[in-house]
Structure 1
Amino acid sequence: MELLRAENLNHSFDYPLFKDLNLSLNTQDCIAIQGSSGCGKSTLLHILSSLLCPKQGNVFYKNKNLYQLNENERLNIRRYDFGIIFQTHYLFKGFSALENIELASVLSHQKLDEKILEKLGIDKLLGHKIGKLSGGQQQRVSIARVLCKKPKIIFADEATGNLDFENAKNVIELLISYVKENQAALFFVTHDNKLVNFCDKTYILNSNGIC
C-alpha cells in the first residue's frame, strides 16, 4: 500500500538542488538516499516529512496533499505518523534518557516499548541525564524516542553518523525489522556505502532528481 508520494518536486536555495523529482514509499519499503554533500538530501527529507514546503511540486501522505493541509493537521501527522531522526539529537539536556523517550510516547499516546530499549543497548542508561551520555548513546536514545512513537514512516537523516559500524548495523537492522513488522516505511539518508546494502532500494540524488 502506498504511504507517501512525491510528484514533480523542484527546490532551490541560492542554487538549484533538484527538479522534477518523483518518488513513492509503500508499506515495508526501506529506501536509502545517497549523493554528494550539498546535493539536497536533507532538504528532500525535510520536504517529504512536512517540515519544508517545496518550491514546486506536491507531497501526498495517504493521498492527502501535505502542503494543502493547515499547520495543525501537519503537526498531527508529524506527531502520530512520522518519526524523524535528525543528525542533531534535539534531546532535552536536563532530562534523563527515560524522560526524553517517555515524552515522545506520551505525546503520541503510545506505550513505552522496553524491547526497543534493550535492542539499542540503552536499557541500563535510562536513569542517566542526557548530558552524561556519549554522542553515540545520545543518538541511540533519539532513535528509541522515535521508534517508541510507533510511526508509519521513519525519516532518518544520517541516523548512524555518530555510531561505530557494529552499532550502526544494529540500528539499521532494528529500523528495517520495525518497518517490516509494523507495515511502516523507512527513508534513510546516509553516506555509509555498507549500510545501504541493508535497504531494499538505493537512490542517488542529483540536480536532475534521483536515479
Structure 2
Amino acid sequence: MNKQVLEFKNVWKTYHMGDGLVNALAGLDLSLDEGSFTAVMGPSGSGKSTFLHVAGILDEPTMGVFRINGKETINLSMKEQARLRRNEIGFIFQRFNLLSQLTSLENVMLPMINKDLEKAKEILDKMGLEDKHHKRPTQLSGGELQRVAIARALINDPSIILADEPTGELDTANADSIMKILQDLNHNNGVSIVVVTHNPASASFADEIIHMSDGKIVNMDSK
C-alpha cells in the first residue's frame, strides 16, 4: 500500500462573508500518494487556493480531517505546525516572494535553521544559476527568479512541494522550463509535487489533473 503524503477526509472550510457563510471547501475527499505529481485546476472561486492553504498548513479546516505524511495537523500546537511546515513542505509562488534586498544565495538560505552555504550554492548550481549567486532579484529575469524560488523551496529537503501558479508570470519557454524542473524533481528525487494552475500546458506535465468547482473535486484525469 502506497504511503499517502496528503489526505483530506470530508474537509470543509467555511468563511463568514457579510451576513452569510461561504464554503470554500465543501466536503473535500482526496488522498495523494508519496511521489505523486498532481495539477489542480478550476475557475476562480473553485477552492484551489483554499485547498493549497490547508495543504500547506497555512489554514485549518472548519470540519473534517487533514493529514500530511500521516500527521493530523489540527491537533498540533502552532509551534509544531510551523516545524512541520518548515521540514515537510516547500512553497513556490506565482510572484516569487523573494526579498529584494537579499542576493539569490541569501534568499535560498533564508528558511534554513542551520545555515549551510555550500548546500545553498549546490542547489542554485543545479538550477543552472552558477553565476547568479550574488545577484539580487532586480538583476534576474523572470525564469531566473522562479529558479531561485525553487531552490529556496528545496533547501530543507521537503517531502512535498506546493506550487501556486508557478508559471503565471512567465513566457511559454520559461514556463515549460520550470515545469520540466519540477517534473525532474518528481521523477528523479521522489519529491511529491502539487501545482495549482490555470494553464493546461503546465498541467500536462503532471501525472494526474484534478478539476475543482465549488469546493469539490468534479473530475480527475490520470495519464
TM-score (norm 1): 0.90
Give 2:49's aligned residue: 42
Alignment of 1:1-211 (within 5 A): 1-13=3-15, 14=17, 15-104=22-111, 106-107=112-113, 112=119, 114=121, 116-207=123-214, 209-210=216-217, 211=219
Q: Tell me the alpha carbon deviations over residues 103-123 of structure 1, each in whole angstroms, 9 at most, x when there is no partner.
A: 23x327776265643453432
Structure 1: which 5+ runs fail to align? Answer: none
Structure 2: which 5+ runs fail to align? Answer: none
Larger radius of gyration: 2
Does the residue aligned with 2:145 lie in a helix, a strand or coil?
helix
Q: Which runs of structure 1 show a deviation greater than 4 angstroms over 4 or more consecutive aligned residues? A: 108-111, 113-116
Q: Give the aligned length.
A: 210
Aligned 8 A contact 1:79 1:107 in 2: no
Does the residue aligned with 1:53 lie in a helix, a strand or coil?
coil
Deviation for aligned residue 1:27: 1.5
Q: Tell me the alpha carbon deviations over residues 59-85 of structure 1, each in whole angstroms, 9 at most, x when there is no partner.
A: 112222111111111111111111111
Aligned 8 A contact 1:34 1:191 in 2: yes
Counterparts in 2 of 1:157 and 1:103: CA distance versus 1, 3 Å: same
TM-score (norm 2): 0.85
Aligned 8 A contact 2:105 2:121 in 1: no
* Higher mean C-alpha displacement, 124-133 vs 38-47: 124-133
Aligned 8 A contact 2:6 2:31 in 1: yes
Aligned 8 A contact 1:18 1:206 in 2: no
Counterparts in 2 of 1:108 and 1:50: CA distance versus 1, 3 Å: farther
